[in-house]
Structure 1
């Protein structure tokens, strides 16, 4: 697990609900430290807490209101923006990383990193971006590249989950059925082909197709067991019909 510590800052949000949405997204992806610059009023009975889900219990009430200077003085900062420059003639919004590239670059590095999101309508100003260390931008349609604040935070923090989460509810890998079970299934399939009285070459081709199909699928033990049960029942029915 990386030693990277990732926090989130929201600059001059206008809508309390967006602050709550981002707090909830942070909770989803294993982040807890939220910094607010010029925030709206966050009423515990208002929409920020209403949108925060379980983040209303810790992330949102523990959010710190700070000045922008605090962010740049205490963190390695990453400013998020939809509008970028396409070459190196202006460095305010260039070079930039996608969220996935940002996650890869932060993995394994010991640094206190802060991901900074800006205003709903105009995002971060150039003067603010100029003081941040890196730029992150989400690839989107050229005809409409601007995501709303909550969407942008969700995409960025989702990609950073590889840095912020040690484990998720999803397994890291599929547990493939043992080869012995798979070979048993292959044998059953070969037996199942006998009643169609196909030519030996055709049966060989079908068995190869079946093996390649399962080879790509990487079935689990339960899936193999279920398929073998289907073949057994089908073969029993065929035997009853022939008798």
Structure 2
């Protein structure tokens, strides 16, 4: 499966560059342009494209709208939807998250189509596309800038389009021995502050639940353990605190 991006009748070269950059960010490379503005290599399109100026933007293909319909499963992106089953041009529609879920489950070449800055895709254009996608936004002002809208949609598709990100797949949680060491230090601290004996078991259980939900890393666990160890040491030997206060 491959996912391409098409921009129809963009008025501003900078928005084309912004979309190319978002494509580069989220693992896409195939850009199609329908009736594009002039894209001067020294102009704002290339200026806004970041590293996408090296490959995505110069390799963009100018095509007609028919080409998109005839060669791809197409998804038209629009801010305006008719939430009424009696009108089928912009209904039903999916959110970007739902689109990612559906594309993950199929093997088909897809093109995500974005329209003009001021009016977006027309009803006639949307009627020829296979799906409609809309970004949930405030009802008071749901219309996004073309480049912003594309960035949001492509971000949500990242799990489909990006093999590996700069972020780890999961938090490296502290090991059980590391956590048990922290719990031992907490018990020592409770004793040193004369926490009521009858409440210590419940307090320790609450700490276990709290850290169990937090999934602290080894470094976080070690740092917190060190703080409680130091606090307990000063409580057990208050003369150390006096010595530290006397230091210049």
TM-score by length of 2: 0.94
The alignment yields a C-alpha RMSD, in angstroms, of: 1.2
Decide which of 145, 159, 162 is 2:159's aligned counterpart. 162
Matched with 2:176 is 179
Q: Runs in 1 of length 4+ with deviation above 3 angstroms? A: none
Please give the per-residue CA displacement for 1:152-195, whole angstroms capped at 9, x wherever unaligned: 00110000001001111111211111111111110110001112
What secondary structure sits across from 2:167 in the alignment?
A: coil
> Residue 143 in 1 paired to residue 140 in 2?
yes
Gaps of 5+ in 1: none
Query: Which is worse superposed, 154-163 or 227-236?
Result: 227-236
Matched with 1:90 is 87
Aligned equivalents of 1:198, 1:216: Cα separation in 2? 24
Query: Which is worse superposed, 33-42 or 227-236?
Result: 227-236
Matched with 1:50 is 47
Please give the per-residue CA displacement for 1:39-97, whole angstroms capped at 9, x wherever unaligned: 00000000000000000000000000011111101000000001111121111101110
Aligned positions of 1:1-243 closer than 5 A = 4-241=1-238
* Corresponding residue pairs, total: 240
Gaps of 5+ in 2: 241-248
Q: How far is the alpha carbon of 1:118 from its aligned partner?
A: 0.3
Q: How far is the alpha carbon of 1:234 from its aligned partner?
A: 2.1
Aligned equivalents of 2:192, 2:105: Cα separation in 1? 58
What secondary structure sits across from 1:119 in the alignment?
A: coil
